[in-house]
Structure 1
Amino acid sequence: MAWFAAVILVASGWLVVPAVAGAQNVAFVTMNRILEDSPQAEDAMRELEREFSPRDSELVAEREELQRLRDRLERDGDLMNPSERADLEREFSQRSREFRRAQESFSEDLNVRRNEELAKLQRRINDAIVDLARERDIDLILTERNVLYASDRIDITDDILATMQRD
């Protein structure tokens, strides 16, 4: 029964300490901080902004135009002749559908590109971490996942950020 409890603890990540206790040199990295503060992350965000801001501006303009059409329908709809009102309602419906499609396409494209940039960034971060670990002869590097406490003495996040600043 004790072996079953140990398997459960290992699987859930709660039995990390005994594995770490035998390590010669242990370090800790706050991945979220590196993902937010590295110059490569900032470059990726600027690139996404540059790439997607024209489409975003088009969507904003179309949303404003749809609002103007809706306002016109509400304000002047009762004063219009039936065919003019029907034409305006048809235009509003058609443009609303096109807008929703464009918005969905934009979101999908942005998510794909964001994931691509994130994957590239994570590869660069991992390479920097491994390089630093080899350079300093670090046996084990932990991240914030499943770590309850890490002393500042073993936190090498600033060192990884400095390495990424040089790249």
Structure 2
Amino acid sequence: MKTWTAIVASALVYGAVLWPGVLVAQNVAFVTMNRILEDSPQAAQAMRELEREFSPRDSQLVAEREELQKLRDRLEREGELMTANQRADLEREFTARSREFRRAQESFTEDLNVRRNEELAKLQRMINDAIIDLARERDIDLILTERNVLYSSERIDITDDIIAAMQRRR
């Protein structure tokens, strides 16, 4: 489906260039979405929010990983000196904690990915709104992104203007 959309969009753009009567775009502009995603204050705020939200769990995982390493080291260092029951108990503890650690780590990764996607979707909506507002304000007929564009001159690049608009929207 995306390929079909890209083909239609490309045909419309090329039609405007090759057959001026087919599609008349008076004002054309270009934006670099990746740069907007990286440089907008809202993107930085989203990253700070995710860090604030997930750093306590990340710290817990780091601490548990260190404790597991200590248990492993103890097993290797003292395992031969322990009784069979002591060694078996320590191995069971290590196995159970390792299993729990993997579950916690998987849960953390899944939760982080879900929240990152939520924040990205929210940010993309804000960027699209800023682009549409600027297009209407400047009477721009067509705005292209870096996808499927072979070349665009700096003269029509409004990426900096969109970033500035995003900064005003804080």
Per the TM alignment, residue 20 of structure 1 is displaced from its structure 2 partner at its CA by 4.0
Partner of 2:94: 92
Q: Distance in 2 between matches of 1:95 and 1:80?
A: 20
- Secondary structure at the aligned position of 1:142 is classed as strand
- Secondary structure at the aligned position of 1:88 is classed as helix
Residue number among 157, 161, 167 corresponding to 1:155 in the alignment: 157
Residue number among 116, 122, 125 corresponding to 2:124 in the alignment: 122
Given the superposition, is the C-alpha separation of residues 144 and 76 from structure 1 closer, same or farther in structure 2, using an over 3 Å criterion? same
Q: Distance in 1 between matches of 2:141 and 2:47?
A: 33
Q: Is the 8 A contact 1:28 1:143 kept in 2?
A: yes
Partner of 1:101: 103
Partner of 1:11: 7
Unaligned runs of 5+ in 2: 18-23
**TM-score normalized by structure 1?**
0.91
> Percent same amino acid at aligned positions?
79
The one-letter amino acid paired with 1:67 is Q
The one-letter amino acid paired with 2:122 is K
Cα shift readout 1:29-54 (whole Å, capped 9, x = no counterpart): 00000000000000000000000000
RMSD, aligned α-carbons? 1.5
Unaligned runs of 5+ in 1: 1-7
Q: Distance in 2 between matches of 1:161 and 1:13?
A: 25
Partner of 2:114: 112
**TM-score normalized by structure 2?**
0.89
Q: Does 1:30 align with 2:32?
A: yes
Q: Is the 8 A contact 1:23 1:139 kept in 2?
A: yes
Per the TM alignment, residue 18 of structure 1 is displaced from its structure 2 partner at its CA by 1.9
Partner of 2:43: 41
Aligned length: 159
The one-letter amino acid paired with 2:145 is T
Q: Is the 8 A contact 1:13 1:146 kept in 2?
A: no
Cα shift readout 1:106-163 (whole Å, capped 9, x = no counterpart): 0000000000000000000000000000000000000000011110000000000000
Superposition pairs for residues 42-81 of structure 1, below 5 Å?
42-81=44-83
Q: Is the 8 A contact 1:20 1:26 kept in 2?
A: no
